[in-house]
């Protein structure tokens, strides 16, 4: 049993034991030389594996059984993905390996109660618009111009390398950290992206925090000025503006046209589907290097973009340079919320709660 558990851990998260600190100035390749085990080392190994065995039989296990009863978050490892649930109801799929989409993303996200708030992925012909099917899979972080390389349109890859911290459920939160290599169109390394991802059950809904750190490990990198930069979400077809949904900014600006190109503390895209009012609220961290302008469309796109100043008609062309061995950090929150049809969630309160969660998260 012990060796079965050890093999399972290694198979599902082969590099989870090699952690790269978020504040590390550069990432160095680590090699491991085989050394003979003395009795003390062997005992430490056996204790570590026994601890892994215990973890596999707790609610915070590395591979919760599908449909197993739980009052909180659970997850199941699949081929190239992690299926995430809460209280037995689907929350999202985190996909880190996809032949058609060369960057990690979340798909088929659901608000509390199980109502889906992002477009079906893949889109269902006849029920969903099928435009941008491999560009807008649900929730993603991508950029149309990093040193001339375009990961938004999948022309350059953001290649998942490993989990530096495997999925863990603790204190009501699901967290994991990934390391990805941002590449050029011909597959050469551009920089390293560390993503610390957190899902928490909050009073207003499920809160996803994407904490991204870009390490210029190979060379200087430059974030250019394009509309398609930052954190994007494609909302579910029933709640898009074209179908009666509503986009609202923190200043009470409304509609896609009324919010496009403007900076907000938060922007919400919501509508009624079935017997629920559901939506997605996108919240940039105010500690990011500058506020984000919003790239919103009536067909369901919402994106927070701190780079596209000229493209968003807010001033001169932006050019954000990260010198070699230096880093740039961005954090965004995404609230998945649901209420009765006449309910109006207090997004200002949810935003304040998001800020409190940032203060308690790992720096």
Q: For 101-158, what is each residue's pLDDT tens digit?
A: 999 999 999 999 999 999 999 999 999 999 999 999 999 999 999 999 999 999 999 9
265: closest CA among 207, 333, 196? 333
Look at the chain and report how many structural domains it folds into: 2
What's residue 13's pLDDT? 55
Residue pair 138/120 in contact (Cβ under 8 Å)? The answer is no
Does any domain span residue 64?
no
pLDDT higher than threshold 90 for residue 231: yes
Contact 180, 195 (CB under 8 A): yes
In a domain, 340, yes or no: yes
| CA-closest candidate to residue 131, choices 311, 300, 303 | 300
At residue 361, the pLDDT reads 75
Q: Residue 312 half-sphere exposure, CB side, CA atoms within 13 Å? A: 29
Is residue 25 in a domain?
Answer: no
CA distance 84 to 335: 16
Is residue 9 domain-shared with residue 113, that is, in the same domain?
no
Examine the pLDDT at 19 and tell me if it is beyond 70: no
DSSP string, 192-228: EEEEEEEEEEETTEEEEEEEEEEE--SS-EEE---SS
One domain for residues 81 and 10? no
**Neighbour-count burial of 65, counting CB atoms closer than 10 A to its CB (0-12 exposed, 13-18 middle, 19+ buried):** exposed
Which pLDDT belongs to residue 302? 99
* Residue 249 clears pLDDT 50, i.e. is over it: yes
Give me the mean pLDDT over the 315-321 stretch.
98
**Are 126 and 230 found together in one domain?**
yes
Q: For position 152, what pLDDT does the model report?
A: 98
Looking at the structure, tell me whether residues 121 and 7 fall in a common domain. Answer: no
**Residue 184 CB-density burial (10 A; 0-12 exposed, 13-18 middle, 19+ buried):** middle
pLDDT at 71: 85
Considering the domain boundaries, does residue 198 fall inside one?
A: yes
Integer Cα distance of 169 and 181 in angstroms: 26
> Does residue 67 sit within a domain?
no
Of 7-16, 115-124, 264-273, give the lowest mean pLDDT range: 7-16
Q: Which residue has the higher pLDDT, 14 or 2?
A: 14
Examine residue 53 and state whether it is found in any structural domain, yes or no.
yes
Mark whether 263 and 308 lie in a shared domain.
yes
Model confidence at 49: pLDDT above 90: no
- Please indicate, yes or no, whether residues 146 and 176 belong to a single structural domain of this protein: yes
Same domain for 102 and 145? yes
Q: Are residues 9 and 86 in the same domain?
A: no
Q: Has residue 184 got a pLDDT over 70?
A: yes
Percent of residues, the chain, with pLDDT higher than 90: 78
Q: What pLDDT was estimated at residue 50?
A: 41
Helix (H, G, I), strand (E, B) or coil at 163: strand
User: Of 173, 164, 18, 35, which is closest to residue 91 (Cα–Cα)?
Assistant: 173
Burial class (CB in 10 A: 0-12, 13-18, 19+), 328: middle
- Check whether residue 45 and residue 145 sit in a common domain: no
pLDDT at residue 47, rounded to an integer = 44
Cis-peptide, bond into residue 122, ω within 30° of zero: yes
Tell whether 5 and 109 lie within a shared domain.
no
In this prediction, what percent of the chain has a pLDDT beyond 70?
Answer: 80
Range in 6-20, 32-46, 55-69, 276-290 the model is least confident about:
55-69
| pLDDT confidence bin for 363, thresholds 50/70/90 | low
pLDDT of 30 higher than 80? no
- In-domain check, residue 68: no
pLDDT at 254 (0 to 100): 98
Question: Is the CB of residue 284 less than 8 Å from the CB of residue 293?
Answer: no
Q: Is the pLDDT of residue 57 over 50?
A: no
Instruction: Find the CATH number of the domain harbouring 275.
Output: 2.70.98
pLDDT (mean) for 8-12: 48
pTM of the model: 0.83
Cα separations (Å) of 290 from 157, 171, 193, 253, 352? Answer: 26, 31, 19, 20, 19
The answer to whether residues 208 and 352 belong to one domain is yes
Claim to verify: residue 238 and residue 269 sit in the same structural domain: yes
pLDDT value for 362: 62
**pLDDT tens column, 346-360:** 999 999 999 999 998
Kindly state the average pLDDT of the residues 244-269: 98
Spatial contact of 167 and 93, defined as CB atoms under 8 Å apart = no
Stronger pLDDT, 357 or 2, i.e. the higher one: 357
Q: Is residue 299 part of a domain?
A: yes
Range of the domain at 244: 73-360
pLDDT of 206 above 90: yes
Q: Where does the pLDDT of residue 70 fall: very low under 50, low under 70, confident under 90, or very high at 90 and above?
A: low
């Amino acid at each position: 049993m012990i060796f079965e558990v050890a093999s399972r851990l290694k198979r599902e998260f082969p590099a989870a034991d090699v952690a790269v600190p978020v504040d590390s100035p550069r990432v160095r390749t680590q090699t491991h030389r085989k050394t003979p085990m003395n009795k003390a080392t062997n005992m430490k190994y056996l204790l570590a594996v026994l601890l892994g065995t215990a973890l596999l039989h707790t609610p915070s296990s590395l591979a919760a059984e599908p449909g197993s009863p739980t009052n909180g978050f659970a997850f199941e490892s699949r081929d190239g993905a992690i299926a995430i649930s809460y209280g037995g109801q689907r929350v999202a799929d985190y996909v880190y390996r996809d032949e058609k989409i060369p960057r990690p993303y979340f798909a088929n996200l659901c608000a509390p109660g199980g109502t889906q708030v992002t477009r079906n992925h893949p889109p269902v012909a006849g029920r969903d618009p099928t435009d941008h099917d491999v560009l807008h899979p649900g929730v993603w972080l991508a950029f149309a111009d990093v040193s001339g390389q375009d990961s938004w349109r999948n022309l350059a890859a953001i290649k998942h390398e490993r989990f530096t911290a495997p999925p863990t459920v603790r204190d009501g939160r699901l967290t994991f950290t990934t390391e990805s290599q941002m590449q050029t169109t011909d597959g050469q390394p551009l920089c390293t992206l560390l993503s610390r991802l957190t899902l928490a059950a909050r009073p207003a809904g499920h809160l996803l925090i994407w904490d991204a750190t870009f390490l210029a490990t190979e060379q200087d990198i430059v974030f250019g000025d394009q509309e398609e930069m930052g954190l994007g979400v494609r909302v579910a077809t029933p709640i898009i503006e074209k179908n009666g949904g509503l986009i609202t900014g923190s200043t009470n600006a409304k509609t896609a046209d009324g919010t496009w190109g403007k900076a907000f503390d938060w922007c919400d895209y919501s509508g009624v589907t079935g017997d629920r009012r559901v939506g997605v609220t996108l919240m940039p961290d105010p500690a990011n290097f500058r506020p984000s302008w919003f790239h919103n469309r009536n067909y369901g796109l919402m994106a927070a973009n701190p780079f596209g100043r000229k493209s968003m008609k807010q001033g001169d062309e932006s050019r954000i340079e990260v010198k070699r061995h230096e880093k740039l950090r961005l954090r965004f929150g995404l609230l998945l919320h649901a209420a009765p049809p006449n309910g109006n969630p207090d997004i200002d309160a949810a935003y304040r709660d998001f800020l409190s969660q940032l203060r308690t998260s790992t720096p």
